Structure formats: structure tokens, C-alpha cells
Structure 1
Amino acid sequence: MITVENITKSFTQNGETVVALDDVSMEVSAGAVCGVVGPSGAGKSTLARSIALLDKPDRGSIRVDGVDLLSLDGKQLRAARRQIGVVPQGDSLLRQRTAAGNVALPLEAANLSPQDRRSRVGELLDLVGLTDKATVYPDQLSGGQRQRVAVARALAAKPSVLLADEPTSALDPQTTDSVLTVLDRARSELGVTVLVVTHDMTVVRRIADDVAVLDGGRVVEHGNVVDLVSEPGSYVGSTLLPQTDQAEQLKPSVSGHDVVAEVVLVGFAAVGALLPEASNRFGIDLSILGGGLTRLGDTPVAKFRVGLTGEGSESALKWMIERDAHVRRAPAKVEVAA
């Protein structure tokens, strides 16, 4: 588990003080994947570097598995740092070492025996799907393969936390998917808590349990991804869910329906059956006016703009809300200018 409380970090740039993190607090549950997103300059990488103790915050506390990292020094601090694996931004592999040699680097620093090193390196290359590339040098690997080797190296010392800074930057979609699969396997097979700094919301959609949105050095949204997408006005929802038309087109007078609403449905049962069941149960015509389906991890989520026509429209809408549909209704009446 990662617990960040009231972290502040500032820098001096061109003679002026720049606040990179401003009273940031967040928590990542053990064994979860948390995406940290936000615009350029929001403080995402500074947060990751602070958790890894590569940058020391001005104030606040950082706890990993209950241990306050900022209170440690000397041998205790070095031991704590070994519990945090870091995949830095960009290509960080040593060119004179093979893939296996790069993965073995932290194990050599820990003075593991050659036999134990070979065994651990083999396990990790298998985890990232690169057993056949053990003797290949970085310049002979693709960008995605180099990133997967970097993840394997970060996992070599068996950390409890893995921090990945823009691990899919400049990768094509297929290669991105292969890197995300590795990060997901690290969580599911090794029980590692993963924090991913990214500008790519595909990363959040594909593997994140939780997400933190930073803007101007502050956390403006934080929580479970599926919960956040259902909140009206959520940045996470607006970027991850299919788009519907503008609010003006929610008005019944525009569509010709008795009721028009924006509906978010979560889970297999809701996505597959809730709308047709409402139509049949209340004897109404229900039309899909916009939106679509997506998937957040393994959870299907739909966002539709729907038009309901018939005497049972209001009752159908209420019935859907009672069954955990997230609904933003259009006004029942629309004033017409004189």
C-alpha cells in the first residue's frame, strides 16, 4: 500500500519558486494499479519521484506498507528503497549489456550468487515474454521489448511497489498493449502495487483500478475508476466513456421524445439487459440517440443518450435509477422563447 499525505514540493526556476506538488494526498491499495494522469506540468512525474525518494518533498509523509519513508536514513532507507521498483521515463537500458544482463544488474548489486541470479532473471524474462531475447542487446530489441526488459529489471529485487513513469510513451497501440499486459501480470501474479504515471488514458482504461487526476500540482479527482466515470462532470468519465452530443440536445423538444436522458450502465447485466427490460416492463418506446460501449479493465460500461416515449417513461427512468443506472435527466419542460 502507498499512502501519501499532504506532500508539498517546490523548485526554484529562473529565480522564481515553482510549486510542483501542492498539499497532495492519495492512497493506493495493496495489489492495485493506480494511474496518475493530468496535463503536462501537473506534477505527475514529481509525485512518482517523491514516492521513490528520488526527490525529497519539502513536507508531508509517504508511507509504503506502513513504513514512513521520510523518517528513514542510512541502512533502513536503502532497504526501503529496494521495496520500490522504478521504470524511468524513456529508454534506460545499458547498451553494453544483454537483456538478461540488464535484468541481472540489481541482483549483482545485492550480491546474489550467480545461480540465484540466473534463476531470477529467467523467471522475470518469462514473466515479460522475452525468454528468447535473453542474449540480445538493447539496440536489437524493439521499443516495446526494451520497456518490458526495463519492467523486468525493476522487479528483480522483488519490490512490493512498482512505479512506472510514462511506460508507453511513443509506442504504437499493439506495443502499448504488450507493455500494459506485463504491468498487469506484475500486479496479478506477483502481488505488486503499481503506480503508473501517464498521459495516455488508454493505460487507465486497460489496467487501472484507481486513478488520480493532477492539475496544477493538486489532486482534483481520485478514486476507483468505475466509480468516477459515473459522476456528473467527472474528468475521468468525460475522457474514458463514449461521447454523446451536447447538453442542448438532451432537451425533449429537440428529439421529439417525452423524456431524454444520459444513462451510464456498469457491468454485464446492466449493459446487456437494463434498457430493453425497462422498455418491456413499462410499455414504452426507448431509442438510443447516441453514445456507445467501452470496457474498463474487465468491466463493460455503456454511456447512452436515450429517448423515452410513452406514459410509463418517468416510471421507467425511476426504475433504472433504483437498479443503479446513473442518470442525468433532461428538463421535463423546455421554455420556448417568445
Structure 2
Amino acid sequence: MITVENLTKTFPGSTGQVRALDGVNLDVAAGTVLGVVGPSGAGKSTLARCVALLERPDSGAIRVDGTDLVSLDGTALRAARRRIGVVPQGDSLLRQRTAAGNVALPLEAAGVAGPQRRSRVAELLDLVGLTDKAGSYPDQLSGGQRQRIAVARALAASPSVLLADEPTSALDPDTTGSVLTVLDRARAELGVTVLVVTHDMGVVRRICDDVAVLEGGRVVEHGKVLDLVSDAASRTAASLLPAVDQNPGAEAAFDRVADVVLVGFAAVGALLPEATSRFGVDLNLLGGGLTRLGETPVARFRVGLNGERADSALEWISEAGGSVRRTLAGPQGVAA
């Protein structure tokens, strides 16, 4: 588990001190994947570097499995760092070493014996799906393969936490998918807690359980992805869910208009048709669509309803687990 408490970090700038992190607080449960997102300069990479103690924060606490890393130094700090694997941004492999040799580096540094070291390297190459590339050099690998080897190297010392800084930057969609699969397998098969810094909300959509949105060095939104997308007003919902275009002309033809978010197979497949039959209303889809967050289907639709029991239908959808937000196109622009 990772706990960040009131973390601050400043750097000297041309006009004075620049506050990269400003009182950041986060809790990351063990065995989850947290996506840290936000615009350029929001403090995402600084947060990751502080958690790995590659940068010392000015103040605050960083607890990994209950140990405050900021209070450590010397041998204790080096031991704690071995519990945190880091996948740096960009291509970080040593060109003179094979794929297997790169993965073995942390084990050699820790003095792991040859047979045990070779066994661990073989396990990790299998995990990232590159057993057949063990003897290949980085320049013989694709960008995605090099990144998967970098993940394997970061996992070599059996860390409890894995930090990945923009692990899919400059990769094509297919290659991105293979890297994200590796990160997800690390969580699922090794129980590693994964913190992913990314500008790509597709990464959050694919593998993240939780998300933290940074802006100006502060956390402006944090929580479980599926909880946040249920709130149509959240930044996460705006970034991850299908867009709904305004069409006042079409919406004016309905007694009630609402944006509805449905999470899960049962809700997506059944709530709207059942509301139609239960309350005898005419329900039309005016916009939106379906997406998938991890393995969970999620829909956001703008719906138009006609009928005397339109309000009752929207209230029932809300009570049954849907998120309903009425728009100003209808008689009342309030949430059900």
C-alpha cells in the first residue's frame, strides 16, 4: 500500500521557486493500478520520482507498506528502494547487454547467485512474453519489446510497488496494448501495486482501478474509476465516457431530457428497456454511446422521454443504480 501525506516539492525557476507538488495526499490500496493523469507540468512525473525517492520532497510523508521512506537514509533507504521498481520514461536499456542481461542487472547488483538469477530472469521473460528474445540486443527489438524488457527489469528484485512513467509514450496502439497487458499481469500474477503516470486516458480506460487527476501540483480528483465515471460532472467521466453533443432542436420535442450513465452488463443491457415498459414512456436515444473500462461495459446516453410518467421512469433508473442528470432542455434541469 502507498500513502502520500501532504507532499510538497519545489524547484528553482527563472522567477523564483516553482511549486511542482502542493500538498498532495493519496492512498493507493495494495494490488491495484493507479493512473496519475493531468496536463503537462501538473506534477505527475515529480510525484512518481518522489514516491521512488529519486527526488527528495521538501515536506510530507511517503509510506510504502507502512514505512515512511522520507525518514530513511543509508542502508535502510537502499533496502526500501529495492521494494520499488521503476520503469523510466523513454528507452532505458543498456545497448551492450542482451534482453536477458538487462533484466539480470538488478539481481547482479544485489549479489544473487547465478542459477537463481537465471531462473528469475527466465520467469520474467515469460511474464512479458519475450522468452524467445532473451539473447537479442535492444537495437534488435521493437520499441514495445524494449519497454516490456524494461518492465521485466523493474520487477527483477520482486518489488511490492511498480512505478511506470509514461510507459506507452510514442508507441502505436497495438504495441501500447502489449505493454499494458504486461503491467496488468504484474498486478494480477505478482500482486504488485502499480502507479502509472500517463497523459493517455486510454491507459486509464484499459488497466486502471483508480485514478488521480493532478493540476498545478494538486490532486483535484481521486477515486475509483467506476465511481468517478458515474458522476457525469467529474473530470474522469468527461475524459473517459462517450461524448454527448448538444442538439437543442431535437431535444425540444421531448417532455424530459437526461444524461444517463450505466455501469455493468446488467445495467447497460436492461435498465432503459425495463424503464420503458414499466412506466409506459417513449424513450429515445439522442446521443452518447458505449465504452469499456477494463472488463466492465459503461454507457453514457442522452435520452429523451415522452409520457406522463417520464419523471418516475428517470427516478427509477437512478434508484436501480444508473446515474441520471437531467438537462436544461427539459422542463427541469436538476439531477434525479
TM range (shorter): over 0.9
Aligned-residue offset at 1:309: 1.0
Alignment root-mean-square deviation, CA = 1.3
Partner of 1:75: 75
| Aligned amino acid, residue 265 of structure 1 | L
Asked if the contact 1:252–1:330 (Cα under 8 Å) also holds between the matched residues in 2, the reply is no
| Structure 2 residue 273 is matched with structure 1 residue 281 | no
Asked if the contact 1:252–1:258 (Cα under 8 Å) also holds between the matched residues in 2, the reply is no
Where 1:132 maps in the other structure, the secondary structure is helix
> Structure 2: how far apart are the matches of 1:227 and 1:284?
29
Q: Write the deviation string for residues 183-211 of structure 1: whole angstroms up to 9, x where unpaired.
A: 00000000000000000000000000000
Partner of 1:174: 174
Please report the TM-score for the alignment, with normalisation by the length of structure 2.
0.97
> Structure 1: how far apart are the matches of 2:222 and 2:244?
24
Partner of 1:317: 314
Asked if the contact 2:260–2:325 (Cα under 8 Å) also holds between the matched residues in 1, the reply is yes
**Count of aligned positions:** 332
Structure 2 portions without partners, runs of 5+: none
Partner of 1:223: 223
Where 1:204 maps in the other structure, the secondary structure is helix
Asked if the contact 1:252–1:260 (Cα under 8 Å) also holds between the matched residues in 2, the reply is no
Asked if the contact 1:252–1:259 (Cα under 8 Å) also holds between the matched residues in 2, the reply is no
Q: Write the deviation string for residues 220-267 of structure 1: whole angstroms up to 9, x where unpaired.
A: 000000111122321110010000013xx4x69843011110000001
| Structure 2 residue 268 is matched with structure 1 residue 267 | no
Show the 5 A alignment for 1:165-314: 165-246=165-246, 249=247, 254-314=251-311
Aligned-residue offset at 1:135: 0.0
| Aligned amino acid, residue 321 of structure 1 | S
Partner of 1:20: 20
Aligned-residue offset at 1:334: 7.5
> Structure 2: how far apart are the matches of 1:86 and 1:334?
51
Asked if the contact 1:293–1:301 (Cα under 8 Å) also holds between the matched residues in 2, the reply is yes
| Aligned amino acid, residue 42 of structure 2 | A
Aligned-residue offset at 1:75: 1.1
Identity %: 73
Where 2:152 maps in the other structure, the secondary structure is helix
Where 1:199 maps in the other structure, the secondary structure is coil
Aligned-residue offset at 1:330: 2.4
Please report the TM-score for the alignment, with normalisation by the length of structure 1.
0.96
Asked if the contact 2:255–2:331 (Cα under 8 Å) also holds between the matched residues in 1, the reply is no
Aligned-residue offset at 1:27: 0.9
> Structure 1: how far apart are the matches of 2:74 and 2:325?
55
